[in-house]
Amino acid sequence: MASSGPAKPGRPGRANPALYGGMPAARSARGMAPRLLEFADELRREGMAVGSSELLDAFAALEAVAWTDRESFREALSATLAKSHEDRRLLELIFDRFFFRAVEREAVERGVKEGVSGEGGEERIDLGALRERIRGALRHPRGSDGELRDLARLAISAFGRQGEGSGVIGVDVQRIRRTLGLKGEQAGAELPDPESVPRDRLREFEGHVRRELERALIERTESLPPARPLRDFDRALPTGAAQDLAAVHRVVAQLRRRLATQGRETRGRSRSPAVDVRRTMRLSLQTGGVPIELRYRPRRPRRPELYVLCDVSTSVTSASVFFLSVLHALHDSFRKLRSFVFVERISEVTDVFERERSFEGVSRAIAGDAGVADVSGYTDYGRVWLEFLEQVTDDLDPRSSVIVLGDARTNGREPHAEVFARVAERAGRTFWMNPEPRLYWNYGDSVMAAYERYCDGVFECWTTKQLEGFVNAIADLRPVASRPR
Amino acid sequence: MPVAFHSIEETRAGLVGAGYLAGDSTALVSFLAQRLGKPVLVEGPAGVGKTELAKALSRATGRELVRLQCYEGLDEAKALYEWNYKKQLLRIQVEASDAGWREVRDDIFGEEFLLPRPLLSAISSEQPVVLLIDEIDKTDQEFEAMLLEVLSDFQVSIPELGVVEAKTHPLVLLTSNNSRELTEALKRRCLYLWLDYPGPERELEIVRLHAPALSEDMARKLVEVVQMVRNLDLRKPPSIAESIDWARALLLLGAEDIDAETLRSTMSIIIKHRTDLDLVTDRVGVKLTDGLVGSRQAG
């Protein structure tokens, strides 16, 4: 039903530019190809990289696939246009919206109207029966799409006086859901509520109700509402708390690869690796003692040495769980990692992470164990640098990277930026991840600027997305090679 | 004899025949790959059957499977071709005295002295093959760039010989665990397929396909437990292959029911980390004891 279909003879659309919700009227040429190009345009507007080679592929794919089937049509498009998991999800969202609008536009242009159902036709719909039917359909894991849609229309005609709801579709949808007494299953509930229905099915049903309401609105007003960009909330992949931790782990695994390979890349691929004399001689035996082929010593990627300093004071409480999970993930990936937590003073927690494998165990040990850090104190960055330098002074060398996770709020104490400079000088690379938005830096007691100039990179960081940004950014930075030893 | 698919349904049936239950998008993309002659980039979490898909395709189409396992530091000599210099040396020695250098040179850089590696053998094969480039994200970007020529034009340039063009069109699958972002250039040349863990219904079908002797109830319960385990925050969630292994193990042991005790004794088949073991015993074992699993049947 949603494929816009090939060019059909029909009277030309009424010229009404307002109809297209901002789309130029010239685009309304009939047929599949222009529609697909419009669709690709919309994908680009949402930030997907759709090139012409992808489009050509899509057309080729549609020649091989029966595009009269909605599912195959969409799958063919996602296989050729979307190049990552995120892109796929985006494409599905936009696909639904775009072709719904395309069909409605066509309907308005041709003046097609549906027979208005539910107004007088069915005199009285039995509420209880309808409720049971909908609940039954939602519990059925493979209920058909069409059935749900029909039920959605029934529900609308039973409750929303069609065409004169509150005017805000989202409000109407929720009102209908509440009147029907539909509840989503609570995640992790010990005993499933007999009244509740699976969450994702409920969401599907809500989607149908929403779409039917929109359709009614479009029919009544004979115009399309303007297309709005997708909200971040919609486009984000569905995640749970457990998956967040997994996401951090995934990003950190990426970080490990970056750090491990970077040293090799930045040294400019030295053209003259060392000859492995022993192996070359052995090989030359095959050729009568003439060393025809040289064997080189493998260039080992250097093993990154990481020093991570993590602020766990109350000013970063919300961020510190995230930071600790980053630290936890780092410990899983790196062997040469020393981690420190600090508030007023600094203490090394490397062995805590090595002892406790689970994240819960680690947070408990760090929060509870008074010997580790006094969490109730005020952060004293100056003192932390002094102590840090004292503890690691012999180990810090140009091969090591220092990562600081903190908000740089010194509570008015001496920042000792010159000590931090010494740390940064001795370490190969220094990065700072700040859990506050850049806007708040250097306001109040934040002394980010004092430290910033000694770092190879400073980043806002409180979501996995930004953590990924950090990983990408350090792959692009190449300060190490130019830094004098 | 290689078989070609003519429709999506045929592709799906072929894959089922090869022991692989393909979802909608998998069947469609496999069909398109063959029809359009484009490589497929398969991504998804570990253990959802990415490599298995390539094997099933090779079985279903009757094509030989050529596999290139990628790793860090993989280079052309291991992936494309290498000169068999020993043979070249022998050749030179045999002809040493009387032949002119020119003839010898023309001689020794011939196909006779070429050692084909997976990529070259895949495209120069007389019969069409299925080429599996496994874990492409493990290689360096340079290697990816080298692949571009093979993947888009199905040809390999050998400086001494010229261009070797494909005699037959291989069906190419690249798999990635997403440990590194692949280059745009490579992605552009591929169809994209995202494989995810299957839903309970499809996993049930898969388990039933591979362990047909397991009773319906047992299989359902097993799938429910596995799905529950996957929702926990584990270091390594159980893969599909592992749930099949588990089903087979339960059959071998002659287990009648999956209770907390059975789970504890056989858990090591699906869980491969010590910390995960503890977590699963805590969370899932308890539910099994209380009889919460299996009481509520899907559907």
> What is the structure's pLDDT at B2?
67
- Mark whether B21 and B169 lie in a shared domain: yes
**Domain-located, residue B295:** no
Q: How far apart are alpha carbons B74 and A116 in whole angstroms?
A: 66
**Domain-located, residue B3:** no
Residue B195 to chain A, least CA–CA distance (Å): 9
Beta strands B81-83 and A429-434, pairing class: unpaired
Q: Is B34 helix (H, G, I), strand (E, B) or coil?
A: helix
**Domain-located, residue B120:** no
- Mark whether B177 and B273 lie in a shared domain: no
Q: For B138-166, how does the pLDDT look when each residue is reduced to its tens digit (9 = 90+)?
A: 887 778 888 888 888 888 888 878 888 88
- B233 with A246: Cβ contact below 8 A: yes
**Which residue bears the tokens 């492409």?**
B136
Q: How far apart are alpha carbons A306 and A309 in whole angstroms?
A: 10
Q: Which of B89, B179, B299 sits opposite A253 (nearest CB)?
A: B179
* CB-CB neighbors (< 8 A) of A80 in chain B: 32, 191-192
**Domain-located, residue B92:** no
Q: For A152-200, how does the pLDDT look when each residue is reduced to its tens digit (9 = 90+)?
A: 777 777 765 544 556 666 777 777 777 777 776 665 545 556 666 777 7
- Mark whether B209 and B172 lie in a shared domain: no
A contact test, residue of B26, B192, B220 with most A CBs within 10 A? B192
* CB-CB neighbors (< 8 A) of B28 in chain A: 65, 72, 75-76, 79
* CB-CB neighbors (< 8 A) of B24 in chain A: 71-72, 75
- A85 with B41: Cβ contact below 8 A: no
- B275 with A253: Cβ contact below 8 A: no
ipTM value = 0.78
Chain A and chain B share a number of CB contacts under 8 A equal to: 93
**Domain-located, residue B87:** no
Q: For A217-267, how does the pLDDT look when each residue is reduced to its tens digit (9 = 90+)?
A: 777 766 666 666 555 444 444 443 444 566 666 677 666 666 555 444 444
* CB-CB neighbors (< 8 A) of A257 in chain B: 179-180
Mean pLDDT of all residues belonging to chain B = 83
- Mark whether B179 and B207 lie in a shared domain: no
A61 shares contact with chain B (CB less than 8 Å) = yes
- Mark whether B205 and B62 lie in a shared domain: no
- Region B184-205 average pLDDT: 88
Measured between CA atoms, the residue of chain B closest to residue A62 is B32
Residue B166 to chain A, least CA–CA distance (Å): 21
Q: How far apart are alpha carbons B143 and A284 in whole angstroms?
A: 29
- Mark whether B141 and B26 lie in a shared domain: yes
* CB-CB neighbors (< 8 A) of A261 in chain B: 140
User: How does DSSP assign A442-463, residue by residue?
Assistant: TSTTB-HHHHHTTSSEEEE-SS
Find the CATH number of the domain harbouring B160: 3.40.50.300
Residue A299 to chain B, least CA–CA distance (Å): 10
- B184 with A49: Cβ contact below 8 A: yes
Beta strands B114-116 and B81-83, pairing class: antiparallel
- Region B72-83 average pLDDT: 81
- Mark whether B209 and B284 lie in a shared domain: yes
**Domain-located, residue B251:** yes
> What is the structure's pLDDT at B49?
86
Token pair for A211: 């779409």
- Region B69-85 average pLDDT: 82
Tally of domains in chain B: 2
- Mark whether B190 and B285 lie in a shared domain: no
Cα angle B68, B69, B75; round to 5? 80
Ramachandran category for residue B154: left, alpha or beta (phi over 0 → left; psi -120 to 50 → alpha): left
Cα angle A402, A405, A398; round to 5? 5
Q: Which domains does chain A possess?
A: 17-110 (no CATH), 127-235 (no CATH), 244-268+303-476 (3.40.50.410), 270-301 (no CATH)
Residues 208-267 (B) with a CB less than 8 A from some CB of A: 231-233, 235
* CB-CB neighbors (< 8 A) of B296 in chain A: 192
Which residue pairs, CB below 8 angstroms and at least 24 apart, start in B142-148? B143/B70, B143/B74, B143/B75, B143/B79, B144/B182, B144/B183, B144/B185, B144/B186, B145/B183, B145/B185, B146/B76, B146/B79, B146/B80, B147/B119, B147/B186, B148/B185, B148/B186, B148/B189
B96 shares contact with chain A (CB less than 8 Å) = no
Measured between CA atoms, the residue of chain A closest to residue B142 is A265
CB B47 within 8 A of CB B135: no
A54 shares contact with chain B (CB less than 8 Å) = yes
**Of B143, B177, B194, which closes a domain?**
B194
* CB-CB neighbors (< 8 A) of B299 in chain A: 140-142
**Of B194, B220, B246, which closes a domain?**
B194
A473 shares contact with chain B (CB less than 8 Å) = no
The parent domain of residue B60 ranges over 8-72+126-194
- Mark whether B212 and B281 lie in a shared domain: yes
User: How does DSSP assign A223-253, residue by residue?
Assistant: SPPPP-PPPHHHHSPP--HHHHHHHHHHHHH
- Region B261-290 average pLDDT: 80
> What is the structure's pLDDT at A11?
40
Q: How far apart are alpha carbons A330 and A385 in whole angstroms?
A: 22
- B32 with A253: Cβ contact below 8 A: no
**Domain-located, residue B81:** no
> What is the structure's pLDDT at B93?
76
**Of B142, B164, B194, which closes a domain?**
B194
The one-digit pLDDT tens for each residue of chain A (485 residues) are: 444 444 344 344 444 433 334 344 444 456 778 888 888 988 888 778 888 888 998 988 888 887 777 888 888 888 888 888 778 888 888 888 788 777 777 777 776 665 544 444 444 566 677 777 777 777 776 666 677 777 777 777 776 554 455 666 677 777 777 777 777 666 554 555 666 677 777 777 777 777 777 777 777 766 666 666 555 444 444 443 444 566 666 677 666 666 555 444 444 445 456 788 888 888 888 888 888 888 887 765 555 678 888 887 766 666 666 777 777 777 766 767 888 888 887 888 887 777 776 666 777 777 666 454 555 677 888 888 888 888 887 778 777 888 888 888 888 888 888 888 888 888 888 888 888 778 888 888 888 888 888 888 888 877 777 777 777 776 554 444 333 33
Measured between CA atoms, the residue of chain B closest to residue A239 is B231
**Domain-located, residue B64:** yes
- B31 with A57: Cβ contact below 8 A: no
- Mark whether B205 and B238 lie in a shared domain: yes
Cα angle A143, A148, A154; round to 5? 145
- Mark whether B272 and B130 lie in a shared domain: no
> What is the structure's pLDDT at A116?
47
| Whether pTM exceeds 0.80 | no
